[in-house]
């Protein structure tokens, strides 16, 4: 792809629904009594994997033009799966569903694609086993396939070694079925969509600092959910507008939950020109973002508690840092090594190929900004966030950028190239 952009990016994008919230809407709706209607549901491959798993567990899920309707089976109404549960590329599907399956009166087997099969599952096997779950890695390597036979679970207090919403959510979902209170303490606060949404479904989840606590529940109740736009998807257009001269874009309905808004803090620290309109603070907060080209972005340090709040945006931030003056240091981000690809390695290798001054560290990257980027063949490793990030880098470099397996954007943002083109031509 080689773009010819004369006056920058202009126009508006309705940011597609949040992936994390879409997954949870289907899962909690499946366990609820009555129907759950989900508006602005993200119809990306990951969320479709969640729908397909719950369909195999006997849940009737309808897709209409504007919403997904989940006809809940109730907390004890899931059926033994009609087939192996295929979680595709989705870590969220795998880890959250495991917490539910650990308490069901049947055996389930879960598989995933080649990326998911290499991602660590001990992080859920360990705490779920402490709760009394019967969950095994079939190959004995701590990865998928997983086989889970439901059992009566016990409440635990778990000190998680990683700040991970997937681990936290898996344990909290198992905690719905436990014989006592369950709590999870994380080293830093991860996204809290499970806690917020489970409460609206009638569960009792409380939080104090980095600890989330859940009481066992008898029943959940179907809800109407309006999914805000995914800030992780908005991130690509935020970065694009900031680095392409002359740009001004409006990103509609972006979720700005404080456990997800790290990219906005980083942009502010870099000196970015971003303003907010139509702020809604009820439930999952959202806003329209107006982002303008900002010459002279400054390098910054990104570390500690902010990392979970921008974990999926680090590939895009690394590219923004290449366009900033000075050095950007990213630390405490070793989790990136166990995402769809090793995102530290893959970003450093591909940015080096484009001429960036970047080095990989044990738990992050050091980027000396200001070196012009040039075209290259980018190996996306079939990782949607890598493909989208380099599509943005391609907007503002000399020469052609070719991205392998570029259709992998379907995982989280099927309309990505269409929305990007609209901003280029408006």
Closest to ligand S3P by CB, 67 vs 339, is 339
User: Binding residue for ligand S3P (CB under 6 A) from 56, 67, 191, 260?
Assistant: 191
Check the annotation: does 24 bind a ligand. Answer: yes
Q: Per CB under 6 A, which region of 47-55, 160-168, 172-180, 266-274 contacts ligand S3P?
A: 160-168
Active site members: 312
Partner touching 90 among ligand PEP, ligand S3P, none, CB below 5 to 8 Å by kind = ligand PEP
Q: Does 164 bind ligand S3P (CB under 6 A)?
A: yes
| Region from 165-173, 205-213, 223-231, 279-287 binding ligand S3P, contact rule CB under 6 A | 165-173
Work out the angle between the directed axes of helices 45-56 and 91-101 (0-180°, nearest 10): 20
364 binds ligand PEP (CB under 6 A): no
| Whole-number Cα distances in Å, 144 to 116, 198, 232, 299, 326 | 7, 27, 26, 39, 42
Q: Would you count residue 339 as binding ligand PEP (CB under 6 A)? A: yes
Site string for ligand S3P, 271-310 (x = CB under 6 A): ----------------------------------------
CA distance 80 to 255: 35
Query: Is there a contact between 36 and 69 (Cβ–Cβ < 8 Å)?
Result: yes
CA 135 to chain centre: 24
Does residue 363 belong to the site contacting ligand S3P (CB under 6 A)? no
Cβ proximity to ligand PEP: between 260 and 339 the closer is 339
- Cβ(190)–Cβ(163) below 8 Å: yes
Cα 289–chain centre separation: 20
Binds ligand PEP (CB under 6 A): choice among 17, 44, 72, 91: 91
Q: Name the phi and psi angles at 216, rounded to 5.
A: -60, 150
Cα–Cα distance measured from residue 115 to residue 216, given in angstroms and rounded to the nearest whole number: 34
Q: Select from 31-39, 66-74, 78-86, 89-97 the region that touches ligand PEP (CB under 6 A).
A: 89-97
Query: Is 166 assigned a ligand-binding role in the annotation?
Result: yes
Number of residues that bind ligand PEP (CB under 6 A): 9
Which listed option, ligand S3P, ligand PEP, none, makes contact with residue 385 (CB within 5 to 8 Å by class)?
Answer: ligand PEP
Q: Taking the CB of residue 35, how many other CB atoms lie within 10 A of it?
A: 15
Question: Is residue 223 marked as binding?
Answer: no
**Residues 91 to 130: which contact ligand S3P by CB under 6 A?**
91-92
Sheet architecture: strand order including 364-368: 301-302, 327-330, 364-368, 357-361
Nearest residue to ligand PEP, scored by beta-carbon proximity: 91
- CB of 424 vs ligand S3P, minimal distance in Å: 27
Binding of ligand PEP by 385 (CB under 6 A): yes
349 is in an annotated binding site: no
314 binds ligand S3P (CB under 6 A): no
The answer to whether residue 166 forms part of the interface with ligand S3P (CB under 6 A) is yes
Would you say 251 and 288 are in contact if contact means Cβ atoms under 8 Å apart? Answer: yes
Whether the link from the prior residue into 145 is cis, omega within 30° of 0, is yes
Please list every residue from 5 through 44 that binds ligand S3P, using CB under 6 A.
20
Is beta strand 224-226 parallel, antiparallel or unpaired with respect to 182-185?
unpaired
CA distance 244 to 240: 6
Instruction: Report d(CA 309, CA 335) in Å as an integer.
Output: 13
Task: Give a three-class secondary structure readout of 40-82.
Answer: CCCCCHHHHHHHHHHHHCCCEEEECCCEEEEECCCCCCCCCCC
- Interface contacts to ligand S3P, rule CB under 6 A: 20, 91-92, 164-166, 169, 190-191, 311-312, 335
- Interface contacts to ligand PEP, rule CB under 6 A: 46, 90-92, 312, 339-340, 385, 412
Positions at the binding site:
19-20, 24, 91, 119, 164, 166, 312, 339, 343, 385
Positions at the binding site for phosphoenolpyruvate:
19, 91, 119, 166, 343, 385
């Amino acid at each position: 792809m080689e773009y010819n952009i004369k006056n920058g990016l202009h126009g508006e994008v309705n940011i597609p629904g949040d992936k994390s919230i879409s997954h949870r809407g289907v899962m909690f709706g499946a366990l609820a009594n009555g129907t759950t209607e989900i508006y602005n549901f993200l119809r990306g491959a990951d969320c479709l994997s969640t729908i397909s798993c719950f369909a195999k567990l006997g849940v009737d899920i309808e897709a209409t033009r504007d919403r997904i309707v989940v006809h809940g089976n109730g907390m004890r109404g899931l059926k033994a799966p009609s087939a192996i549960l295929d979680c595709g590329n989705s870590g969220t599907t795998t880890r959250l569903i495991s917490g539910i399956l650990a308490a069901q009166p049947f055996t389930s087997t879960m598989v995933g694609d080649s990326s998911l099969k290499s991602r660590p599952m001990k992080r859920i096997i360990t705490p779920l086993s402490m709760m009394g779950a019967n969950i095994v890695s079939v190959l004995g390597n701590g990865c998928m396939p997983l086989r889970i036979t439901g059992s009566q679970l016990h409440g635990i207090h778990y000190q998680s070694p990683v700040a991970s919403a997937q681990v936290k959510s898996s344990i909290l979902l198992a905690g719905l079925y436990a014989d006592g209170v369950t709590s999870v303490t994380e080293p830093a606060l991860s996204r809290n969509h499970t806690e917020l949404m489970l409460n609206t479904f009638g569960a009792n989840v409380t939080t104090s600092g980095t600890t989330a606590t859940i009481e066992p529940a008898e029943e959940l109740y179907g809800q109407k959910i309006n999914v805000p736009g995914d800030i992780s998807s908005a991130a690509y257009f935020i970065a694009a507008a900031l680095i392409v001269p002359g740009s001004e874009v409006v990103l509609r309905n972006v979720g700005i939950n404080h456990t997800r808004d790290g990219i906005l803090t980083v942009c502010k620290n870099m000196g970015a020109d971003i303003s907010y309109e139509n702020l809604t603070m009820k439930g999952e907060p959202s806003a329209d973002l107006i982002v303008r080209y900002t010459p002279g972005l400054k390098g910054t340090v990104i570390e500690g508690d902010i990392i979970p709040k921008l974990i999926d945006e680090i590939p895009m931030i690394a590219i923004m840092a290449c366009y900033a003056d000075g050095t950007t240091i990213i630390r405490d981000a070793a989790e990136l090594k166990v995402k769809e690809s090793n995102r530290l390695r893959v970003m450093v290798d591909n940015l080096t190929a484009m001429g960036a001054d970047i080095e990989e560290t044990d738990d992050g990257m050091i980027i000396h900004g200001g070196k012009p980027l040039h075209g290259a063949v980018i190996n996306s490793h079939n990782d949607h966030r890598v493909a989208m990030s380099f599509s943005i880098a391609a907007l503002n470099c000399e020469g052609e950028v070719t991205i392998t397996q570029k259709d992998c954007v379907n995982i989280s943002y099927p309309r990505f190239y269409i929305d990007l083109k609209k901003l280029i031509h408006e």
